[in-house]
Amino acid sequence: MAIAIRNANQMRTLIHTLASDFVDANIAFRLNRDLIDASEQYNQELHQSWTFWTLTVQAHLDAAIFHICRLFDQKPNVLGLRGFLETVRANLHLFTPERFRERLADRQGAEELRANPPLLVREALDRDIAYAKRDSNERVDRLIDVRHNYYVHRNAARVLGAVLVSDEDLLTIEDIGELLRGGMEIVNRYSNVFNANTYSVQMVGRDDYEYVLEAIREKLQQYRAQIAEQCRAAGVEPPEV
């Protein structure tokens, strides 16, 4: 079942809302991975406030997973990837070259786009719908299982150990990264066909955490220099750090 829409403006709203959700999820996931990767270079700095950083790293991962739980919701009439694609299939008339040219009629510098509009390929749409469904994408199947048993509802039988959880049931970092990558690629495909617009998952200030960690490093260096000076003044060899 597709989402009931009345016009192209409502399709544009669906595209923008869904794409923005995927962008937010990708940013949260990327920041989680960046902080994990930074743990080797800034190990001592992170340990100055380990509780804060541990909770921060986990919060970004949880945010990404909560997003994809919603984005891959299997009800076709809600705004998840599957519902969106079913809506595209039910409204192919909005994705024709003629409608594309109408939407870009007043866009400056779009002459080449109007002359050679991107085309919606039905076979690609079928593949994309299959990607979004749990019965044809094993990763989505495990995501929905985690969603139903942990993130949205806590399965009491699993908590009590009546139902064992195997490694095959778990959602891996690779699974999360692939679903975010694949979903973003799909949404951008139809956004491009609709009005020649794509969304970036790059965020200005993505590495702001490095300024914080560098400030902590500088403070530690100043503190150690003070300790060393005090040790030498007392005739004691400064401790090795």
| Residue-level pLDDT at 166 | 66
DSSP 76: T
Helix%, strand%, coil% for the chain, nearest 5: 70, 0, 30
Tokens linked to 144: 């929905």
User: What's the pLDDT tens digit per position in 159-188?
Assistant: 888 776 666 677 899 999 999 999 999 999
Global confidence as pTM: 0.89
Is residue 45 pLDDT above 90, yes or no?
yes
Among positive and negative, which fits the CA dihedral 141, 144, 150, 156? negative
Among positive and negative, which fits the CA dihedral 141, 193, 184, 7? negative
Burial of 110 (0-12, 13-18, 19+ CB in 10 A): middle
